[in-house]
């Protein structure tokens, strides 16, 4: 019988990878290294960053921030390094525990490190409406 530790899965990139990702131009070596380690997730994450699919909302007057990744047909709500509303996060991270993150979480980290995301400002009133959409997990 396998006893599973009852811990929260946290995605955390090692400092060496943060350093690689923060370079202005990624070399072929950087890309190969990250592809070896994260596979298809890295490829999809990098593409999402290049296509500017990561958005950081700042709401006023609370100054709270929210990260969103645009997926096909809908937007995914992200809590950096911790949570995503997509189906694969639910299945692979929460239920089967075969991963600690989905490609959206990786994309958010890459976008934040490389400062390659879109910034949007909105109001707290608007945020309440947006949250109804973002909280969907289907």
Residue 102 lies near Zn ion (rule: CB under 5 A): yes
Residue 55 lies near Zn ion (rule: CB under 5 A): no
Residue 53 lies near Zn ion (rule: CB under 5 A): no
Stretch that binds Zn ion, among 3-11, 20-28, 104-112, 123-131 (CB under 5 A): 104-112
CB of 76 to Zn ion, least distance (A): 5
- When binding is defined by CB under 5 A, the residue of 83, 104, 106, 107 that contacts Zn ion is 104
For the chain, report the end-to-end CA distance as a whole number of angstroms.
32
Residue 20 lies near Zn ion (rule: CB under 5 A): no
| Ramachandran quadrant class, 75 (left: phi over 0; alpha: psi -120 to 50; beta: rest) | beta
Separation CA 69–CA 44 (nearest Å): 12
- Taking the least distance from each CB to Zn ion, the nearer of 62 and 80 is 80
Taking the CA atoms of 75, 102, 41 and 119 in sequence, report the sign of the dihedral they define.
Answer: positive
Residues that bind Zn ion (CB under 5 A): 84, 86, 89, 102, 104
């Amino acid at each position: 019988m396998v006893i599973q530790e009852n811990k929260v899965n946290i995605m955390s990139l090692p400092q060496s990878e943060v350093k690689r990702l923060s370079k202005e131009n990624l070399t072929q070596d950087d890309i190969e290294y990250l592809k070896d380690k994260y596979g298809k997730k890295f490829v999809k994450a990098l593409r999402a960053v290049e296509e500017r699919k990561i958005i950081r909302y700042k709401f006023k007057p609370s100054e709270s921030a929210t990260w969103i990744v645009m997926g096909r047909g809908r937007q995914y709500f992200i809590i950096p390094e911790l949570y995503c509303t997509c189906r694969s996060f639910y299945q692979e991270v929460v239920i089967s525990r075969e991963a600690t993150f989905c490609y959206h979480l990786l994309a958010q980290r890459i976008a934040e490190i490389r400062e390659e995301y879109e910034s949007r400002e909105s109001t707290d009133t608007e945020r309440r409406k947006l949250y109804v959409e973002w909280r969907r997990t289907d």
